[in-house]
Amino acid sequence: MDTVTGQKVLLILNKIANDPDVYARFAYEWLPLGSSSGVQRFRVKVSQEFVLKPLIDDRHHYKLLDVDDKEARIGLPTGEMYTVKPDPRRSAEK
């Protein structure tokens, strides 16, 4: 049972289930050519694919695999997994 909504939840044995309303917030810093700053802020839902500038094409898709209070796990275009931890400089932005 969902303890927040009170709705019954059906779980299937050996099948991964994610909360459909779990998101991660990212602040991706990069410097566009000729610019002194560049921050891409975005929200990603668990299991959703996303792209990062400047490589926005079919070969450079990332996927948010899992997120909790301490880290986010991202699937890289190479098939590897990368773990992102919160930036302590941005802790006030929560």
pLDDT digits (tens, 9 = 90+) for 43-64: 999 889 999 877 777 788 999 9
Flag the least confident range among 2-6, 30-34, 37-41: 2-6
What is the spatial distance between Cα 2 and Cα 33, in angstroms, rounded to a whole number? 48
> Residues 33, 47: contact at Cβ < 8 Å?
no
Range 61-68 average pLDDT:
92
For residues 54, 49, 19, 70, the Cα torsion angle rounded to the nearest 10 degrees is -40
pLDDT band at 80 (very low <50, low <70, confident <90, very high): very high
